[in-house]
Structure 1
Amino acid sequence: MSPTPPRASTKVPSVSASARARLSPLRILTTVVLGLGTAGRLLLALFFAALGAAGPSPARWGMRTRPQPGVAAEGTG
């Protein structure tokens, strides 16, 4: 009779709070898409469309308020 191989550990490692925080958006997306079905997918599509529509405004603001490349700021140089 051959010896039995050692069993793999069944102990589940604990998950840190930061790892749970990083996984929470995934948990929310999964719940919305699977839990609400078609309505969840449409809600998610509307959310991403709103984010896409809102994106150009902060980008324009950022370009307007940043100094141009190659232009020294006042008091330097």
Structure 2
Amino acid sequence: MTLFTKGGGQWLEAMAETGCDALGLDWTTDIADARRRVGHKVALQGNMDPSMLYAPPARIEDEVATILSGFGQGEGHVF
């Protein structure tokens, strides 16, 4: 089960303790900070601003690379 809250970045640790499998991150939460705060306790989902889908393909690729770089090595990210 994925737990998602818009703007819920300040509650990441508490949300990770609910028993969910993943936390849905909106674009306002820094994914590197989220990974540091919850470790590998849960998977992280999302993190791209939905408006990015209207950008040119090269810009979308850049944003994807930025998000994946922020997430770091290992498993546990779902776009």
Question: Normalised by the shorter chain, which TM-score bucket?
Answer: under 0.3
Query: TM-score, normalised to structure 1's length?
Result: 0.27
Q: Which has the higher contact order (CA 8 A, sep 6+)?
A: 2
Query: TM-score, normalised to structure 2's length?
Result: 0.27
State the structure with more CA Rg.
1
More helix by share: 1
